[in-house]
């Protein structure tokens, strides 16, 4: 049964949010319902959000390379397929989505702003004004701001303030991290959604979404790196004192392992992909000498080879990947802040031994991050490849529940504004 999105959500005092992760290997749509009446029902205590996954849809991704659209018609078709499947599994007609953005075109820099406080008390208006002041920097015409993330506030010289609302003072300052992306890449992603008949409520930098699904608040406060190893990109985001302090996207991912295996073993890409998933390992020292694997699809061409042949191909790629990641962490002086270590997520984090390799190369404790939080998680969604999709839904839900942005990000008119009106009404 299909019913109208807005009509349905207002009927049962629940709200629906849809996270759309347009990845290099798969497009995934996650439909989640926010519960307002009973915040404890299926609530993620970690994210403070009553959220239930009511449906998902996945489709192999075509027309996307290294996080950016390379063929719009194919990308549109992939989005349509994933959304259709999510509609069928949730019984909801999807009209608007929170879409993820990634790619090495996304970069970040720090900025700061200051304003004089005219009222006796600092309120929402003053916070908005100081963020606007921090945002007043010249951005090249071919780039767009994705997020303005406040890192902290200073009131009359007292720094380290996380929320200045309700405080008195005459001078309000803020430090922010501004994330920008190439306007063309962002607009092509949005166009792909629009051509598939969807409205984009908001674009969200994918590592922020993945962090929402796999990191705890404690880890973000103590200092942690989240590394999302997808098919075409590896997204690195560093958090300390609860805020993102650095991010970068490397144009390298799980598909590079597959390609290396296909070339090295002279087998088709599809076979290399399945061999990698079944027998892949990132460290030769973890493989037994007598382990044998079968390659070749038929009895004539098929043969048995030592598993170490495959792993000898994969290990140098893993080393290359973690040496690039090390440059982003140690090379920039962030190593000492990462008291909670490193969390690996994304589909390629499932490769055997990747956590051992990461620990060895980065000299930090490492865990694999599985998405957690919402109720209704199935075996399928409890997979690191779903961290971004689930995180996008959580991200949208958190904003919708609080009736305001967690922090300023690129928003779109229409649906988002309508949602806020509805939600605002409930909180009066
Ligand atoms: N068990 C496994 N072992 C090794 N690699 C795996 C395993 N399962 C999935 N992968 C790899 O994970 C990658 C896909 O991960 P994911 O679904 O997170 O990517 P994506 O979100 O589509 O891409 P991106 O984030 O780069 O845009 C593929 O390269 C796939 O081969
Ligand atoms: Mg991804």
Q: What pLDDT score does 34 carry?
A: 84
Residue 285 confidence class, pLDDT cut points 50, 70, 90: very high
* Ligand 1 mutation pick, 214, 230, 250, 283, max ligand atoms within 8 A of CB: 230
Q: Which of 333, 387, 324, 388 is nearest to 358 (CA)?
A: 324
Q: What residues pack around ion ligand 2 (CB closer than 5 A)?
A: 23, 230, 388
Q: What pLDDT score does 160 carry?
A: 87
Mean pLDDT over 388-411 rounds to: 72
Phi-psi region for residue 333, left (φ > 0), alpha (ψ -120 to 50) or beta? left
Q: How far is CA 427 from CA 10, 14, 264, 401, in A?
A: 14, 13, 60, 9
Q: How many whole angstroms from 104 Cα to the centroid of ligand 2? A: 13
Residue 269 confidence class, pLDDT cut points 50, 70, 90: very high
Residues 6+ apart with CB under 8 A from 83: 20, 29, 57, 94, 97, 196, 198
Angstrom distance (rounded) from CA 242 to CA 212: 12
Percent helix, strand and coil across the chain, each to the nearest 5? 40, 30, 30
For residue 230, pLDDT beyond 60? yes
What token pair was written down for 296? 């070749």
The domains of the chain, with CATH numbers, are 107-182 (3.30.1490.110)
pTM score, whole prediction: 0.87
Q: What pLDDT score does 257 carry?
A: 98
Among the bound ligands, the one closest to the CA of 67: 1
- Tens-place pLDDT, residues 49-93: 478 899 999 999 999 998 899 999 999 999 999 999 999 999 999
Q: How many whole angstroms from 339 Cα to the centroid of ligand 1? A: 27
Q: How many whole angstroms from 348 Cα to the centroid of ligand 2? A: 10
- Tens-place pLDDT, residues 328-355: 999 889 999 999 999 999 999 999 999 9
203 three-state secondary structure: strand
Q: Are 29 and 57 in contact (CB under 8 A)?
A: yes
Q: How many whole angstroms from 19 Cα to the centroid of ligand 2? A: 12
* Ligand 1 mutation pick, 254, 274, 281, max ligand atoms within 8 A of CB: 254
Nearest-atom number in ligand 1 for the CA of 255 is: 29
Nearest-atom number in ligand 1 for the CA of 234 is: 26
Residue 403 confidence class, pLDDT cut points 50, 70, 90: low
């Amino acid at each position: 049964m299909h019913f109208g999105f807005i009509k349905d959500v207002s009927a049962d005092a629940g709200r629906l949010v849809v996270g759309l992760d347009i990845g290099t290997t798969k497009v995934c749509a996650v439909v989640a319902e926010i519960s307002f009446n009973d915040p404890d029902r299926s609530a993620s205590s970690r994210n403070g959000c009553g959220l239930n996954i009511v449906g998902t849809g996945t489709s192999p991704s075509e027309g996307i390379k290294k996080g950016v659209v390379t063929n719009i018609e194919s990308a549109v078709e992939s989005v349509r397929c994933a959304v259709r499947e999510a509609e069928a599994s949730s019984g909801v007609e999807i009209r608007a989505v929170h879409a993820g953005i990634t790619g090495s075109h996304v970069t970040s820099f720090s900025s700061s702003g200051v304003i004089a406080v005219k009222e006796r008390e600092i309120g929402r208006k003053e916070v908005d004004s100081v963020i606007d002041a921090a945002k007043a920097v010249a951005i090249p015409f071919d780039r767009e701001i994705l997020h303005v993330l406040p890192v902290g506030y200073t009131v009359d010289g007292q720094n380290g303030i996380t929320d200045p609302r309700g405080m008195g003072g005459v001078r309000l300052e803020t430090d922010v991290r501004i994330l920008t992306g190439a306007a063309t890449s962002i607009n092509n992603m949005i166009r792909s959604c629009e051509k598939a008949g969807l409205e984009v409520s908001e674009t969200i930098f994918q590592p922020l979404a993945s962090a929402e699904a796999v990191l705890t608040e404690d880890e973000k406060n103590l200092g942690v790196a989240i590394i999302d190893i997808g098919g075409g990109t590896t997204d690195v985001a560093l958090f300390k004192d609860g805020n993102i302090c650095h991010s970068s996207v490397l144009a390298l991912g799980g598909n590079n392992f597959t390609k290396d295996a296909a070339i090295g073993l002279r087998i088709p890409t599809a076979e290399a992909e399945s061999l990698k998933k079944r027998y892949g390992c990132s460290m030769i020292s973890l493989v037994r000498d007598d382990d044998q694997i079968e390659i070749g699809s038929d009895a004539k061409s098929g043969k048995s080879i030592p598993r170490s042949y495959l792993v000898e191909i994969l290990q140098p790629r893993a080393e290359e990947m973690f040496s690039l990641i090390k440059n982003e962490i140690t090379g920039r002086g962030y190593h000492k802040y990462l008291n909670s270590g490193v969390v690996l997520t994304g589909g390629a984090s499932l490769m055997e031994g990747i956590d051992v390799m990461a620990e060895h190369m980065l000299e930090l404790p490492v865990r694999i991050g599985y998405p957690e939080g919402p109720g209704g998680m199935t075996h399928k969604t409890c997979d690191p490849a779903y961290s971004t999709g689930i995180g996008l839904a959580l991200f949208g839900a958190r904003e919708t529940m609080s009736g305001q942005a967690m922090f300023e990000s690129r928003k779109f008119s229409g649906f988002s504004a309508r949602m806020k009106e509805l939600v605002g009404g409930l909180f009066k």
